Structure 1
Amino acid sequence: MSPIIQAILVLTSVAVSGLLLGSVRFRGIGLGSAGVLFAGILLGHFGFEIEPEISEFAKEFGLVLFVFMIGLHLGPGIVQLWRQQGIVLNSLAFAVVLQGFLLICVFHGVFQSSGRLSGYAAGGLFSGATTNTPSLGAAQQAVASLEDPEKSRPENVKTLASAYAVAYPGGIVGIIAAMLIMKRLFRINLDQEVDSSETNGKSSLPPINRQSLLIDNARLAGVKFGDLPGLEETGIRISRIRRAGEDSVAAATINTVLGEGDVIQVVGSEEGLQRFVPMIGQVTDVNLMESKGTARLRRIVITEASVLNQTLRQLSLDQRYNATVTRIRRSGVEMAARGTTRLQYGDVVNVVGDDEALDRVTELLGNSVRSLDETHFAPIFFGIALGVLLGMIPFQIPGIPFAVKLGLAGGPLIAAILLSMIGRIGWFVWYIPYSANLALREMGIILFLACAGLGAGRTFFSTAMSADGLLWMFAGIVVTMVPLLTTGIAARYVFKLNYLTICGVVAGSMTDPPALAFANSLSDSEATTTAYAAVYPLTMMLRILAAQTLIYLLV
């Protein structure tokens, strides 16, 4: 059997058995993709193996694919999340990472002299106890990059994986146990927490309404709508107008000249409308949506690359096509259409105009619904290449006497976040359907875990059943639970955070999807997922850097 055929058969065997193992649930909790790691360990113990070069490539490429897809998914909304809750939540996540790092150093200092916790085991223990797979990849890369051949031997890399695998189960159990302990400690009533979360965590974007106004201010006669003072600040858009004494309704834009007795339809937030109406006239019950005329409404999906990241003011649809964008729906959230609003791929815009104008605007903006389900791979591979190059760049951190690299775990993650925020460079558009993103992400982590498990399988059971292995398990649970409990208590009593938000920080600070799934099972609130996403990128970077730093400091 050729090495390639053997590698394919072994990897698929590990993947199938691991996913079956991960699908087994106890009280709603399962290992998920992490089951592949343990299947790899088990099969590796019984002699399943693949060529080292093939294993290394599959493992590293899987890691790159995993973190890059995560970055693409989180990037577009990350700025808004950081603005809303970023400082407090990320400070708490930083405290969790720092405490875990310091505890590992303490355990290493105490047990190093007896040879029971080497620097390699400490690095793997840090990654396993915090259930962070990319940091394991970063630590393994750090070992492989050591200049001393004795320190960079493959056996040392396997020690990392063994310590990771020994500590990982306790990490998952410890995270969930910490959530349950805090629930009992804080005497949580979940219904009250959900109500509080919905009251305090409502979207910063107010709902958009429409109103019909009768212009009874004679001073506005002959004035263009776009020349009204404070228009941009209120975010009000005009969509239709019925002239005084007429029955027909026409589309209106910022260039529409107003007249006394005209009835116009405006769109905006409740607050904006309350500020705007007194300047115009009075609210009327006339429904211009149902009146006859040439004005039409069309919902158009943004799929044309040339208009991405352009503002509505730059597109100037009012001037060029006599059409008005009245509101925008992005990721299920409706927002006002301001002149400064930049369009993103997949936005759905409400446009009002006559039939000819709407046809021209549709051609300009794309409206290819089918393309939303298509996966364009050229931008993905281009972005991965940029991320790999970024990960190779060494940089200095003040206070650390050696250069640190983002590596294959950090470089692609940062590149993906930045590229997805940019959205487009030339004809490269960084948009991928969520289902495709999730599939590629899962494929990547399965490849990585399968190879990591096979590599550790030969020595895992002998290590886990030894005195050192039992010590690693104990130390791993301490490293998992102590930072979470201390930080969670501070979040509740000092920062007065909602319990569901704390659960999101707990899961996000450990970058642990099973813990997030458990927290989400407690309620239907989105507070947990929002907090998880808010701290995930920073936490991922901190854990990658911390894992590398542990190797350089302790080995």
Structure 2
Amino acid sequence: MDRTTELIATLAVIAAGAILGRASWRGVRLDVTAVLLLGAGAAQLGITLSPTLGLFGLLLFLYAIGVQAGPALRRLGGDERRAALAAAGALVVLSAVTLAAAHAAGLPTGVGLGVLAGLFTSGASLALAEAGWPASEVSVGFALAAPVASLLVMLAVQGWHRAAEPRIADELARWNEEMSRRAPRIETALAQVTRAEVAGRTLRELRLPAEVAAIFREGRWLAPRGATALSAGDILRLAGSREALDRTIAMVGRRTHERPHRLAGEPVVRLFFVSSPRAVGRRIEALRLRERFDATITRVRRSGIELMPRAGLRLLWGDRVQVSAPESAMDELRRLFGDDAHNLERFAFPRAALVIVAGGLLGLAPVPLAGGAVVRLGPATGVLAASLLTAALHRTGPLIWSQTHRTTALLAQIGLPLFLAEVGNRAWGGLVQALPTWGLPLLVPAAAGVGAGIALAALVGRALRLGPLATLSLFASLLLNTPAFQLIQQRHREKIPSAIYAAV
């Protein structure tokens, strides 16, 4: 098949897989695994999918995963560190169980090592195994385990999720309650000053519970300062918890939904990443934003948690702060905080391409081993390592490595189906050739590995007193099954899945 036909066939498999993956049976769906199965079906019909697109999809997907999980490496909590240590021991046990199952099934050691590499979809493990055992045996085990284990893990994750759904809901309720207690959800509202006892008093005197981001008076917007006195009829743009908003509105007058039309001088809102040494580690009041820029911080988001932008709050690296200020002050604020999140999307793909190229070169670099042997990480492992490290750094000099959530989600949605379609298509030929030789015992080590992963995740979760969602995330992470992890993350946007994946 020529490249054009391969491209069209690949896109057709992805489109059909998206439709099939949405079909549900008793609450269980194939999701992106349907693309893998249809890729294998295309191979049975003699249709070859594009290997170049498959590799591109893999690298793009691993880059997106690394960018999402990288920032969590800088702030792993005690639970995540304990999970990482426990996972290291569990990976050793999991590998031993898989190899023992292959031996018990009468399979050659090379096939067992290939199954182990396929269980984790690890190109580095595959290369290392092929250096010491017959490549034909290793590739057969990998070709079988990669699609079979991926399918079993995806089905196990969905079945586990469905069975534990009530307990997951309780876990998330406790999590959200704890997060709300630490940092109430930030909301916005408009209030009109109608109370006579408030008119003429300054914001410093009133000490309002909510943050005043801007004041609309006589057809123009004013930047609030401590010495700003309120007047009857002023419209205040407020930000804070629901309780703070209700108390502030009751103090000044009434809530209004009549938003003034946008006029010249109205403050604009921008989101910044805190990455500059001028802002990292400093308290909000020490930045003197109102005095210097007529600016007000309305929100601070840290590790997925919204914090109240009160005096005394110290900004940390990686915080996302939402600032209301005049348009003319935005360049100075960008220099103060570090980066404008809105501008990150303008160069999102060139930034991704740079990291993928660096990761690919890292994967090609030879790593010497004892006895003179040499192994290479491979482009997939290299890209994942590069994206994790660069995302944790956030920036190097003028180069910014972070991506917005919208960008990483889009890259992952493009990359994963491309990769799975080609994996299924490529693995089918090797599987058909291997079945007459070794038969159904080929399935034993792959199934044993997945079963051991479930048992080990449950044991570690119980030992560390993890909730069902954290334990489920640990299972997907133990097997390094990024499609299954992505499925969990899509359903639950809380911090739990990303923190566990980054730790493991």
Give TM-score scaled by structure 1 length.
0.64
Q: C-alpha separation between the residues in 2 aligned to 1:249 and 1:362?
A: 14
1:439 counterpart = 2:421: no
| Among 320, 323, 339, the residue aligned to 1:349 | 323
1:105 is aligned to 2:99:
yes
Q: Give 1:192 deviation, angstroms.
A: 4.9
Counterpart for residue 424 of structure 2: 453
Note if 1:59 corresponds to 2:58.
Answer: no
Q: CA deviation at 1:64?
A: 1.5
Do the aligned residues in 2 keep the contact of 1:85 with 1:534 (CA within 8 Å)? no
Show the counterpart of 2:85. 91
Cα contact 1:36–1:449 (8 A) shared by 2: yes
Q: Which position in structure 1 is the counterpart of 2:350?
A: 378
| SS of match in other structure, 2:315 | coil
Separation in structure 2 between the aligned mates of residue 167 and residue 6 of structure 1, nearest angstrom = 29
Secondary structure, counterpart of 1:301 in structure 2: strand
User: Which residue identity lines up with residue 93 of structure 1 in the other structure?
Assistant: A
Aligned length: 446
Which of 251, 264, 283 is the equivalent residue of 2:225? Answer: 251
Which residue identity is paired with 2:464? F
Contact 1:90 1:534 in 2 (8 A): no
Deviations along 1:330-378, one digit per CA (max 9) or x if unpaired, are 2562354668525659631356xxxxxx454334235978646545322
Residues 242-276 of structure 1, C-alpha deviation per residue, up to 9 Å, x if partnerless? xxxxxx997249xx9xxxxxxxxxx999xxxxxxx
2:333 corresponds to which residue?
Answer: 365
Alpha-carbon distance in 1 for matches of 2:478, 2:381: 16
Deviation at 1:479, TM superposition (A): 1.4
Matches within 5 A, 1:252-267: 252=226
Is the contact between residue 304 and residue 365 of structure 1 (CA under 8 Å) also seen in structure 2? no
Change in 2 beyond 3 A, CA 1:375/1:10: same
**Relative to 1, partners in 2 of residues 1:335 and 1:90: Cα closer, same or farther, differing over 3 Å?**
farther
Residues 394 and 249 (structure 1), Cα distance of their counterparts in 2 relative to 1, 3 Å cut: closer
Corresponding position: 1:138 with 2:124: yes
Distance 2:112 2:314 in 1: 50
Residue aligning to 2:48: 49
2:142 matched to 1:160? yes
Flag structure 2 segments of 5+ consecutive residues without an equivalent: 188-203, 205-210, 215-221, 229-238, 242-249, 256-264
Shift of 1:475: 2.5
Q: What corresponds to 2:15 in structure 1?
A: 16
Change (3 A) 1:469 1:515: farther
Q: 1:376 to 1:163 in 2, by over 3 A?
A: closer
Q: Is the 8 Å Cα contact of residues 39 and 423 (structure 2) preserved in structure 1?
A: yes
Please give the residue correspondences for 1:112-261 in structure 2 after superposition, counting only pairs within 5 Å: 114=106, 116-119=107-110, 121-129=111-119, 132-133=120-121, 135=122, 137-142=123-128, 146=131, 151-152=134-135, 157=139, 159-176=141-158, 192-198=170-176, 205=183, 251-252=225-226
What is the deviation of 1:68? 0.8
Instruction: Measure, in 1, the Cα distance between the counterparts of 2:266 and 2:86.
Output: 47
Kindly report which structure 2 residues correspond to 1:393-542, keeping only aligned pairs within 5 A, or say none: 393-395=365-367, 405-461=376-432, 463-464=434-435, 466=436, 468-492=438-462, 494-512=463-481, 515=484, 530-539=495-504
Q: Helix, strand or coil for the counterpart of 1:376?
A: helix
Whether the 8 Å CA contact 1:66–1:444 is kept in 2: the answer is yes
Residue 329 of structure 2 is aligned to residue 334 of structure 1: no
Aligned CA distance change for structure 1 residues 453 and 286 (closer, same or farther; 3 Å): closer
Q: Is the Cα contact below 8 Å between 2:38 and 2:424 reproduced in 1?
A: yes
Measure how far apart 1:386 and its partner are: 1.9
The SS at the match of 1:341 is coil
TM-score w.r.t. the length of structure 2 is 0.70
Residues 124 and 170 from structure 1, CA distance in 2 versus in 1: closer, same or farther, beyond 3 angstroms?
farther
- Identify which of 65, 68, 77 aligns with 1:73: 68
Deviation per residue, 1:288-323 (Å, 9 max, x gap): 999xxxxx9956314599x75641659955598265
2:57–2:418 Cα contact (<8 Å) kept: yes
1:445 deviation in Å? 2.5
RMSD: 4.9
Relative to structure 1, the CA distance from residue 141 to residue 202 in structure 2 (aligned partners, 3 Å threshold; closer, same or farther) is farther
Give the partner amino acid of 2:440. Answer: L
Q: Which has the larger radius of gyration?
A: 1
Amino acid at match of 1:66: F
Preserved CA contact (<8 Å) 2:118 2:142: no
Q: Which deviates more from structure 2 when the two are superposed, residues 315-324 or residues 100-109?
A: 315-324
Shift of the 301–318 alpha-carbon distance from structure 1 to 2, 3 Å rule, reads: closer
Q: 1:326 to 1:518 in 2, by over 3 A?
A: closer
Gaps in structure 1 of 5+ consecutive residues: 210-224, 226-236, 241-247, 257-266, 270-284, 291-295, 352-357, 540-555
Structure 2 letter corresponding to 1:418: L
Contact 1:15/1:450, CA 8 A, preserved across alignment = yes
